[in-house]
């Protein structure tokens, strides 16, 4: 195969959680540009409907569904609907995420639980449901969206310990699942983005813009296409010998 063939996703079916906005939308667009059919799901279905319609311009089939990644029954409904429509699931991108800012000594349990359940438990539940399909298929790609926050601590001005803990958990989960499911020809990898302006990060970036940029060797934030290549690579045949890896996309922040 040549490189274009290795990266071609024509006819593949991808489920992307939180795929209607932000990083999820960016990755959805990248996969659609390479020919993948999309199933976009999030708590706010109306956003998914709009994004799915817009992705149709790439000539791919799309489906929009409402789903809370903390709800196992709702996740199974998404998987069942995907199989009913497409008959297969080739790619899962666990992108849905949440954060909560508060000093550690003031963090309320309900807020800690919300972040852990969305970011870590949701990743487990969706991987479990889709993994059963991929095991039967004898192939599949699972991409978990971690963060550089899962690789190191942060100064006191960045108070989001639940987010850091959950993303560290996602990284460990990715590596262990890769070891467990390699025998089924399922590649499990993670992407750890650095600072990208999104709805979830915009307030923190606005308050700490200069301090953050000083820590990034490239001197800028992530752009609205900087994750596309990473997502396509890990979704495609080009990454068939890559599993248990954390692909950092952070402008050199962790270097």
Q: Which of 86, 124, 126, 163 is catalytic?
A: 163
Is 37 in contact with 14 (CB distance < 8 Å)? yes
Extended beta strands in the chain, E state? 13-17, 37-42, 62-66, 91-94, 140-145, 186-193, 246-249
Residue given tokens 């959950």 in the structure block: 166
The sheet that has 13-17: what strands, in order across it?
A: 62-66, 37-42, 13-17, 91-94, 140-145, 186-193, 246-249
For residue 202, the tally of other CB atoms under 10 A from its CB is: 12
Q: Which helix (H) or strand (E) covers residue 21, if one does? A: none
Active site residue 163: yes
The C-alpha atoms of residue 14 and residue 192 are separated, in whole angstroms, by 19
Beta-bridged to residue 92, according to DSSP, are: 15, 142
Q: What would the two tokens of residue 57 be?
A: 């311009």
Q: Which residues are catalytic?
A: 163
């Amino acid at each position: 195969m040549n490189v274009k063939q290795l990266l071609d996703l024509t006819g593949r079916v991808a489920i992307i959680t939180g795929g209607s906005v932000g990083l999820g939308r960016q990755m959805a667009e990248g996969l659609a540009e390479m020919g993948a059919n999309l199933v976009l799901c999030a708590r706010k279905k109306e956003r998914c409907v709009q994004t799915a319609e817009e992705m149709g311009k790439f000539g791919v089939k799309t489906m929009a569904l409402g789903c809370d990644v903390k709800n196992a029954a709702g996740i199974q409904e998404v998987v069942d609907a995907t199989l009913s429509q497409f008959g297969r699931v080739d790619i899962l991108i666990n992108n849905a995420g949440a954060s909560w800012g508060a000093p550690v000594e003031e963090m309320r349990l309900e807020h800690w639980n919300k972040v852990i359940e969305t970011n870590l438990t949701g990743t487990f539940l969706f991987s479990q449901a889709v993994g059963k399909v991929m095991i039967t298929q004898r192939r599949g790609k699972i991409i978990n969206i971690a963060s550089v926050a899962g690789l190191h601590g942060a100064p006191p001005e960045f108070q989001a310990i639940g987010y850091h803990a959950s993303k560290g958990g996602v990284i460990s989960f990715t590596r262990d699942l890769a070891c467990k499911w390699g025998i089924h020809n399922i590649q499990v990898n993670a992407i750890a983005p650095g600072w990208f302006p999104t709805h979830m990060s915009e307030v923190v970036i606005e308050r700490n813009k200069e301090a953050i940029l000083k820590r990034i060797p490239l001197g800028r934030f992530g752009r609205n296409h900087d994750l596309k290549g990473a997502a396509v690579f890990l979704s495609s045949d080009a990454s068939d010998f890559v599993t248990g890896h954390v692909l950092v996309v952070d402008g050199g922040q962790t270097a």
